[in-house]
Structure 1
Amino acid sequence: MRTTLNFLLYDWLRVETLCERQRFEDHSRATFEAVLDTSERIARDRFAPFNRLVDSEEPQFDGERVRLPAATQAAVSAYAESGLLAAGHDYEYGGMQLPYVIDMAANSFFSKASIGLSAYAMLTYANGNLLMAYGTPAQRKAFAEPGMVGRSMGTMCLSEPQAGSSLGDILTKAVPDGVDFAIDPLGPRYRLSGSKMWISGGDHELSENIIHLVLAKIPCADGKLPDGVGGISLFVVPRKLVDAEGKLSGERNDVALAGLNHKLGYRGTVNTLLNFGEGRYPVRSGEMAEAKAGALGYLVGEPGQGLHCMFHMMNEARINVGMGATMLGYAGYLASLDYARNRPQGRLQSTRSSDVPVPQVRIIEHADVKRMLLAQKSYVEGGLALGLYCAHLIDERNTGDVDSAQQADTLLGILTPVAKSWPSEWCLEANNLAIQVHGGYGYTRDFQVEQYWRDNRLNMIHEGTHGIQGRDLLGRKVLAGDGYALHVWRNRVEAAIEAARPLRELNELASTMNSALDRLMVATRNAWSWGNAHETLANATPYLQAFGHTVIAWIWLQVAAAAVRDMHGSGTLGSDFYLGKLQAARYFFRHELPKTEAWLHVVAQRDLTALDMQDAWF
């Protein structure tokens, strides 16, 4: 995996050129490699050996506190001590000012080693990034900076038991905390009450504090909650109260653990139902005030802008979820590749008619096993390249010139639904194939591939289901700015096609890519030609699948072009490495990309089979 990672970073994305920018001028390939080496070592030593342990000894609540294996604390502490929690932040905050693409690459080792153990850091990092973007200086100091050194961990609290993904229907409310609520140095003070469901990292003893970012509604003058998402505000709610310097006051906030969710996978990450303001831990507003119910929270940003602020964390989390799904697929691929290379079974068809006894062959010599391994390789390496490409776009958005920053932001908008959904579907399929390669052993606990599948199955739901991502893509992203984002992306695809055409090995793929792009554009126009959003969005998921496969084909075309150029130039990784990349690209174009025709057919024809289905007919 490390060789592929380096190839994608340095030969394809050429991330060393980022060091020419002021923010990253202290860095070089040597510093990037040092970060990757450290991450790989910690993941190998502190995470991977305990992946099975934290799956089998899942979190338990003893009535007072959540109990986790000691290995969880050791892993989280080792990560924090490495400085990776502050890796992308400014030097003045103790950060490394690393490019986001290097940060993403470093964290890929942890997702592969143990997705359950790595989630605490991922959430904390994204939590801190939101506060650094939208919080006041005092909020950054009190709530974000402790997270950069591991003194606190972070969460995002969106869903509720009765609302799920329908955030406009949340009922958690936030009322001003007295007449002087606006003079607290940490910001306008509110009392929150309500319940939040599916909160990863919601309660534990891994850090001295937990910083919750909570979506809630401020009641209108008549006391009723505003309708829809426009009335949602964002609040920072610490598990334990702190002063303006971020030091613990010693008082527990009115945030109570109501129960644990016991999941199919990701068992190493505690997942909770939290009650805010139920009165179990009444708190004071000030030194002389009487303690009362209601979790003390501080407004982040402006009232009614909560979802806008939270999307900063959600979009980052979506790309991270996609990368996590990719790395689980990658772990399964490498495990099944190793198994196939070492498991003798059966004989090749050409030897069966011989009268001479023939020894068994390794199963990797069977064509169908090669097919399953090649499919996995095309999925997981394509997903890895997509995740790194999106991370590189974040660096471009943050540090590029005005035009390139705008284009990067536009591309991120249209690619984020794909970066989340495509790996979570197709790298899960890679895990499915990894089990199949193992045969009967695959669904036993003798091998970890069954756990990789269970862990990965959650990613199709985490941070927005396929249905949500599809509606976002077809209903908003491809229409935004009169199709400007689609136009920017199409230009990038056409540039990749033109760059690949002169390469003899890629001429076929370039032509196929051009046809696939045309099909997608025609289907997109046809889908909206009738102007009926309800009918068009009935096929949003097939559109998402087709768009995702087209994006991955475009990514593979670029990666294959880099491999061909290296193979004919000064590449040092060996011809087998480059030929493997080229063959994976061919597989994706020949076996996977044709699937888009069926998906786009129902989109272009506005097929209403699903929409017209009646409840009683089921």
Structure 2
Amino acid sequence: MSLRPTVDFLLYDWLGVQTLSERARFADHSRETFDAVLDTCERIAREKFAPFNRLVDTQEPQFDGEKVILPQATKDAWDAYAASGMLSAAQDHDVGGMQLPYTVEAAGNAFFAMASVSIGAGMLTVGNANLLMAHGSPLQREVFARNAFSGRFSGTMCLSEPQAGSSLSDVATRATPDGEGFEADPLGPRYRLRGNKMWISAGEHELTENIVHLVLAKIPGPDGKLPPGVKGISLFIVPKKLVDTQGRLTGVRNDVALAGLNHKCGWRGTTNTLLNFGEGRFPVQGEGLGAGLDGRGAGAIGYRVGEPGKGLSYMFHMMNEARIGVGMAATMLGMAGYHASLDYAKTRPQGRPMGPAGKDPTQPQVRIIEHADVKRMLLAQKAYCEGALALELYCARLVDEQRTGDAAAADDARLLLEVLTPIAKSWPSEWCLEANSLAIQIHGGYGYTRDFPVEQYWRDNRLNMIHEGTHGIQALDLLGRKVLMENGQGLQRLVARMQGTIARAMQRPELAAHAQALAQALQQVGAATQAAWATGQPTEALANAVPYMQAFGHTVLAWIWLDVALAALLAAPSPARQGRLAACRYFFHYELPKIGAWLQVVTQRDMTCAELAEDAF
């Protein structure tokens, strides 16, 4: 079973991505060039990623005392991905990019995520470079971002700390100016960083010449104390190996040391690290490194990005990209399990039909796909995973609108993305994980063994509810910020789009009942939003933020499926068309009704969980 027909339908028949070639930025492209990119991604994913997914799961990264050892297949996959040009796919021609729409880039990356999310591709490296293109100095963009786009350097994001986790206001890594002339360094104001960062994906390896760490740290005040809260956080470029202004390695290792590899449930092919900055294992003395690097004070050399105290706002540029990337990874892991369990269900004989004929043990067994409950589990997976893929590509299309649309369309896309980003990250990480669980169930006892891939897909996917902001954090962001921001403008724009789909679907007899159900769900979500904030007390409003997000997400996915179904009705009759309409029907009959229970506790501002005393547990 191939993913490509689904991708083609969503890109061209639903989103109309081919029309983007009418815009000046994408004028060199057409559906033919988009297809060529997808062909390349599909081929590399099939040849360099998929065959080694189990290998990288069993041969975890090892540290030999000097370097991290990864399977050769990981290096080959990285080199093939870099050579494809996908690291700079959406960048300008003059920096070596293809000026592809981000929607096409996201669709291309879906093939890699499905083939082996554990090997990884370029999500963090691209996000790192994109942040520097947006907020770095011209030389920082030239030296660090462009070398990342070529695949020569890779990148990370260093936020969490062992004692702080997701509580970034408690970041304790400090950055002190490196001597009197620290502001004169051409690569940016130069600091010495000391601290520890935890959960750093791809934090140490030999896949690239250099690793560019983007590190959040605080600059001490005149009293030597770190400023409280997130407003005191600044952002720094801390390369593993120091470079000159031409991007050439100087031969000097920066004081960034691997403190340990985290051994994970899934994503085992990607190194996940604890890093120490400025512990003195690689003291930078500065010989031959240029003016000012005279060894004043121990610490890792870091170059400040932008203004002091604005580091978190800069980092959100990368974090929001990463959240959509995590949503896509979760989606494609779910899709991989769906395809595997569908293939299994078509070939596995077990049991006999219901009714009198099924009681005759001499009759041949039927394939399990003929059982209603197996069809239920397959249809649930299809509804979750194809719906999530549509959502991720829709968000990617909004990115293109924000970058290349007129002022009104760009602002509309910006507001919609603000509201949808928590859903794009959280919904697939919960429900495509459930799809992986159903894939195991379809395999029965075999699904629990390593003879089949579905248990690995589940293990890999379990990380995504934590990755790049936990489920609870996304819920607080949605109900506490996104639906309220700019006087609720983002939510209002989303409601308007949903109402547009409802109006069109009401004209189609096949979809009118679904349209009515979505309209009712939309009213329920709106009423719950108002009821949650009725007292104006955040403690009460946010006590049930996760159930709110679950209901909100299900309503968004119902809208996505209704919109996709409208496009499917325009296609010629086919099994694929029948399947999409059935998945839409499944979602409206089996999934959307769940929102009532979730919204009840939100509307009542139920404090059962929030007020329970610790010792009652």
TM-score norm. by structure 2 comes to 0.98
Hey, what does 1:385 align to over in structure 2? Answer: 390
- SS for the counterpart of 2:511 is helix
Hey, what does 1:595 align to over in structure 2? Answer: 594
Query: Which residue among 346, 351, 356 is the counterpart of 2:351?
Result: 346
Amino acid at match of 2:533: W
CA distance in 1, matches of 2:426, 2:216: 24
- SS for the counterpart of 1:153 is strand
CA distance in 2, matches of 1:189, 1:353: 77
Hey, what does 1:103 align to over in structure 2? Answer: 105
Cα contact 2:543–2:609 (8 A) shared by 1: yes
Amino acid at match of 1:595: K
Amino acid at match of 2:35: E
Hey, what does 1:358 align to over in structure 2? Answer: 363
Hey, what does 1:275 align to over in structure 2? Answer: 276
Please report how far the alpha carbon of residue 499 of structure 1 lies from its aligned counterpart in structure 2 after TM superposition: 1.1
CA distance in 2, matches of 1:73, 1:265: 19
Deviations 1:399-448 (A, max 9, x none): 00000000000000000000000000000000000000000000100000
Cα contact 1:376–1:433 (8 A) shared by 2: yes
Amino acid at match of 2:230: V
Cα contact 2:352–2:358 (8 A) shared by 1: no
Query: Which residue among 311, 314, 325 is the counterpart of 2:316?
Result: 311
Residue 611 in structure 1 maps to residue 615 in structure 2: no
Hey, what does 1:586 align to over in structure 2? Answer: 585
Name the CA shift for 1:369/1:42 in 2 (closer, same or farther; >3 Å). Answer: same
CA distance in 2, matches of 1:347, 1:116: 39
Hey, what does 1:58 align to over in structure 2? Answer: 60
Hey, what does 2:173 align to over in structure 1? Answer: 172
Please report how far the alpha carbon of residue 357 of structure 1 lies from its aligned counterpart in structure 2 after TM superposition: 2.8
Hey, what does 1:140 align to over in structure 2? Answer: 141
Amino acid at match of 1:80: A
Hey, what does 2:190 align to over in structure 1? Answer: 189
Deviations 1:514-570 (A, max 9, x none): 011011001111111111111110100000100000000000000001001224xxx
CA distance in 1, matches of 2:570, 2:69: 53
Amino acid at match of 2:39: D
- SS for the counterpart of 2:533 is helix
- SS for the counterpart of 2:396 is helix
Residue 301 in structure 1 maps to residue 301 in structure 2: no
CA distance in 1, matches of 2:66, 2:466: 30
Query: Which residue among 14, 36, 55 is the counterpart of 1:34?
Result: 36
- SS for the counterpart of 1:118 is coil
Query: Which residue among 12, 23, 35 is the counterpart of 1:21?
Result: 23
* Identical columns (%): 65
Name the CA shift for 1:177/1:353 in 2 (closer, same or farther; >3 Å). Answer: closer
Residue 513 in structure 1 maps to residue 518 in structure 2: yes
Please report how far the alpha carbon of residue 356 of structure 1 lies from its aligned counterpart in structure 2 after TM superposition: 8.0
Cα contact 1:505–1:564 (8 A) shared by 2: no
TM-score norm. by structure 1 comes to 0.98
Name the CA shift for 1:66/1:499 in 2 (closer, same or farther; >3 Å). Answer: same
Amino acid at match of 1:337: L
CA distance in 1, matches of 2:75, 2:310: 35
- SS for the counterpart of 2:154 is strand
Q: Which residues of 2 match residues 54-453 of structure 1 at below 5 A?
A: 54-119=56-121, 121-285=122-286, 286-287=289-290, 289-291=293-295, 293-352=298-357, 357-453=362-458
CA distance in 1, matches of 2:361, 2:427: 48
- SS for the counterpart of 2:570 is helix
CA distance in 2, matches of 1:540, 1:317: 22
Hey, what does 1:526 align to over in structure 2? Answer: 531
- SS for the counterpart of 2:544 is helix
- Number of aligned residue pairs: give it: 611
- SS for the counterpart of 1:195 is strand
Q: Which residues of 2 match residues 536-575 of structure 1 at below 5 A?
A: 536-567=541-572, 574-575=573-574
CA distance in 2, matches of 1:442, 1:301: 50
CA distance in 2, matches of 1:247, 1:500: 58
Amino acid at match of 2:427: W
Cα contact 1:87–1:95 (8 A) shared by 2: yes
Name the CA shift for 1:295/1:562 in 2 (closer, same or farther; >3 Å). Answer: same
CA distance in 2, matches of 1:86, 1:485: 30
Cα contact 1:243–1:249 (8 A) shared by 2: yes
Task: Return 5+ residue gaps in structure 2 as ranges.
Answer: none
Cα contact 2:352–2:359 (8 A) shared by 1: no
Amino acid at match of 1:611: A
Task: Return 5+ residue gaps in structure 1 as ranges.
Answer: 568-573
CA distance in 1, matches of 2:580, 2:395: 20
After superposing on structure 2, the runs of 4+ consecutive aligned residues of structure 1 that deviate more than 3 Å are 284-292, 351-356
Cα contact 2:234–2:309 (8 A) shared by 1: yes
Cα contact 1:351–1:358 (8 A) shared by 2: no
Amino acid at match of 2:611: D
- SS for the counterpart of 1:212 is strand
Alpha carbon RMSD of aligned pairs, Å? Answer: 1.0
CA distance in 1, matches of 2:568, 2:324: 25
CA distance in 2, matches of 1:8, 1:543: 28
Please report how far the alpha carbon of residue 290 of structure 1 lies from its aligned counterpart in structure 2 after TM superposition: 4.0
Amino acid at match of 2:77: A
Segment of structure 1 superposing worse, 345-354 or 541-550: 345-354
Amino acid at match of 2:219: I
Please report how far the alpha carbon of residue 122 of structure 1 lies from its aligned counterpart in structure 2 after TM superposition: 1.1
CA distance in 1, matches of 2:561, 2:327: 17
Name the CA shift for 1:136/1:355 in 2 (closer, same or farther; >3 Å). Answer: closer
Segment of structure 1 superposing worse, 346-355 or 378-387: 346-355
